[in-house]
Amino acid sequence: MDGSGGGAGTGPIGSYAAVGDSFTEGVGDPGPGGSFAGWADRLAVLLADRHEDALERAGAASPGGGTGTGTAGPDFRYANLAVRGRLLDRIVAEQVPRAVELRPDLVSFCAGGNDILRPGSDPDAIAERFEAAVAELAGAVGTVLVCTGFDTRGVPVLRHLRGKIATYTAHVRAIADRHGCPVLDLWSLRSVQDRRAWSDDRLHLSPEGHTRVALRAAQVLGLDTPADPDAPWPPQDRRPQSAVRRENIQWAREYLVPWIGRPGSAS
């Protein structure tokens, strides 16, 4: 299975809990009433559709006919526990126990990105704490889906952190191998290296970026997807380098510098 460090099983997933920071909360993908949609919510929709289809097939195959919902299991359950700005240790302290309590069939655990981007952070030490949480989750829930970092090669300033992100990504893949976890490999998802996959702050995905991540996650979990997450973007006219440089400087002043200087766990 492409991008996977382990299998998610062959049966339908009837419950899902998402654990993480702003990436998983869905920042950059506005939803109704001031909420966010995001890749995890979009993945939940695909999982719920598959779960419903499985229940209908089970009902059609049962001697009594009907929908099968009375004997094949409860309705699909989903909880997005992610909170923007959270560092790994707070995610582990606040969200992981809640996910363990819920005992879902699937937990997505995407954490450590905010830690990695902080000056002086150690990806080896962060990975050790990440693995301890993966071990706790893997012993209590059905499947733990872990996420790698994005490739920041084309992102101004953040490209200089590419080595740290790559180191952490290598750790995540090794951790997944040791614990039998499927991997949502964001590093290899070429489509999100396009500027259009990101919101104005370039720190959070755009709605289309979230959609493509959700589709890749669904693929990793063995679902049929309605579209290819790595489908090419429509062609764009090339912009003058001078305009690109001005835009990059404005972005750094408006978004990057305040983000780096944020206190504590804010993002």
188-207 pLDDT, tens digit per residue, is 999 999 999 998 888 899 99
pLDDT given for residue 236 in this prediction: 75
pLDDT given for residue 74 in this prediction: 55
In tens, the pLDDT along 131-187 reads: 999 999 999 999 999 999 999 998 887 889 999 999 999 999 999 999 999 999 999
pLDDT class of 70 with cuts at 50, 70, 90: very low
pLDDT class of 235 with cuts at 50, 70, 90: confident
The single residue listed with the structure tokens 């998983």 is: 24
Angle ∠(150,151,152) on CA atoms, nearest 5:
105
Rounded CA gap, 60 and 119, in Å? 57
pLDDT class of 261 with cuts at 50, 70, 90: low
- Cβ–Cβ under 8 Å, residues 164 and 31: no
Strand partners, 109: 19, 146
b/e string for 50-66 if b means 16 or more Cβ within 10 A?
A: bbeebbeebbeeeeeee
**Mean pLDDT, the chain, integer:** 85
b/e string for 209-248 if b means 16 or more Cβ within 10 A?
A: bbbbbbbbbbbbbebeeeeebeeeeeeeeeeeeeeeeeee
Share of the chain above pLDDT 70, in %: 79
| pLDDT of 129 higher than 90 | yes
Question: Tokens standing for 102?
Answer: 């819920």
The type of residue at 136 is E
In tens, the pLDDT along 72-114 reads: 345 899 999 999 999 999 999 999 999 999 999 999 999 999 9
199: region left, alpha or beta (phi > 0 left; psi from -120 to 50 alpha): beta
Write the DSSP symbol of residue 143.
Answer: E
pLDDT given for residue 255 in this prediction: 60
Angle ∠(230,235,238) on CA atoms, nearest 5:
125
- Cβ–Cβ under 8 Å, residues 102 and 79: yes
> What is the mean predicted confidence (pLDDT) over 125-135?
98
Q: What is the pTM of this model?
A: 0.84
Express the helix, strand and coil content of the chain in percent, nearest 5 each: 50, 10, 40
CA-to-CA dists, residue 222 to 8, 44, 46, 150, angstroms = 8, 14, 11, 22
